[in-house]
Amino acid sequence: MDDAAVLKKKGYILGGRLGESSFAKVKSAYSERLKFNVAVKITDRQKVPIEFLEKFLPRELEILSMVNHCSIIKIYEIFETSGKVYIVMELCVQGDLLEFIKGNRGLPEEVARRMFRQLCCAIKYCHDLDVVHRDLKCDNVLLDKDMNVKLSDFGFSRRCFRDGNGKILPSQTFCGSAAYAAPEVIQGIPYHPKVYDMWSLGVILYVMVSGFMPYDDSNVKRMLRLQKDHQILFPESLSMECKDLIFHMLHPDVSHRLRIEEVLNHPWLQGKHLMAHRF
């Protein structure tokens, strides 16, 4: 059966294509049960690598079925046929954050602050569950009709493993996009997955308030050198508080990189002023 027939049997009327990722396509559909439009992520088992099928897809399905947060994409139903996996989820009609940023050539800090706070709350919720995303980027942050943030695409997410003393074990798989990847990940060093998420969040915030990437990933060696030297070129218009937050999120030393609780308590997200320069 084709996608339309499979979905019709489940009570969905298939619509047009919304987008495509490396291993899946996303289409709109109308739910006869819910009485509104939804998005359906369709993964063809025959067209994806074995590692994705055996490791990443089961993790994604497990995590999607357990998370429930207002700033994480809502999942209505997951079902499988012999050849495909269908994930029925909330439709975000305003598209993704990257499109919104491009359309506005960067966002005013007050707009960015509201959206970034929502995103950080979603990450704190995940990290509190010992779930890491590992593919945070503007493309994976969707916007609903009221311009609220909805974190999506948990294809590289996983549960954290801990040793006998409760310490989180490092990850070794390279995940995500180079432009959003932390220097330790690019170098192939085993990394703390929650701290990796924090770097990617810092890149997202930089893009939100500036309209461009903090580093040029067309030359990875040069990008890595700038990252390790902790060199960040900020637009002059940014507030001291915003620069300070980004500077401490994009710290090459993982022991000094801000954790999610510290980000949420930072003066910029609290709408407060710094007493003095900290960088």
Instruction: Evaluate if residue 73 carries a pLDDT over 80.
Output: yes
Q: What is the pLDDT of residue 277?
A: 58
Residue ranges in the chain assigned as alpha helix (H):
3-9, 50-51, 57-66, 97-104, 109-128, 183-186, 193-210, 220-228, 240-249, 260-264, 267-270
Q: What is the pLDDT of residue 103?
A: 96
Q: How many CA atoms lie within 13 A of 5 on its CB side?
A: 4
Q: What is the pLDDT of residue 82?
A: 84
Tokens (6 digits) for 218:
């067309």
The single residue of 3, 96, 135, 153 carrying the catalytic annotation is: 135
Q: How confident is the model at residue 23 (pLDDT cuts 50, 70, 90)?
A: confident
Residue 13 CA, distance from chain mean position: 29
Q: Which domains does the chain have, with CATH numbers?
A: 3-90 (3.30.200.20), 97-270 (1.10.510.10)
Q: How confident is the model at residue 279 (pLDDT cuts 50, 70, 90)?
A: low
Q: List, for residues 83-132, the tens digit of each pLDDT value.
A: 999 999 999 999 999 999 999 999 999 999 999 999 999 999 999 999 99
Q: List, for residues 190-210, the tens digit of each pLDDT value.
A: 999 999 999 999 999 999 999
pTM: 0.95
Residue 135 annotated to the active site: yes
What is the phi/psi pair of residue 204, to 5°? -60, -45
Instruction: Evaluate if residue 276 carries a pLDDT over 80.
Output: no
Q: How confident is the model at residue 278 (pLDDT cuts 50, 70, 90)?
A: low
By CB atoms closer than 10 A (0-12, 13-18, 19+), residue 163 is exposed
Contacts of 61-68 with C-beta under 8 Å, sequence gap 24+, read 61/85, 61/87, 62/159, 63/131, 63/154, 63/157, 63/158, 63/159, 64/154, 66/129, 66/131, 67/125, 67/126, 67/129, 67/131, 67/154
Residue 14 CA, distance from chain mean position: 27
Mean pLDDT of 2-30: 94
Q: Name the DSSP class of 251.
A: -
Q: What is the pLDDT of residue 271?
A: 92
Q: List, for residues 141-151, the tens digit of each pLDDT value.
A: 999 999 999 99
Average pLDDT value over all residues in the chain: 95
Calculate the alpha carbon distances from 149 to 141, 157, 265 in Å. Answer: 6, 18, 19
Residue 36 CA, distance from chain mean position: 26
Number of Cβ within 10 Å of residue 203's Cβ equals 23
Mean pLDDT of 46-67: 93
Whole-number Å distance between alpha carbons of 124 and 131? 9
Q: What is the pLDDT of residue 213?
A: 98
Residue 209 · residue 269 · CB < 8 Å: no
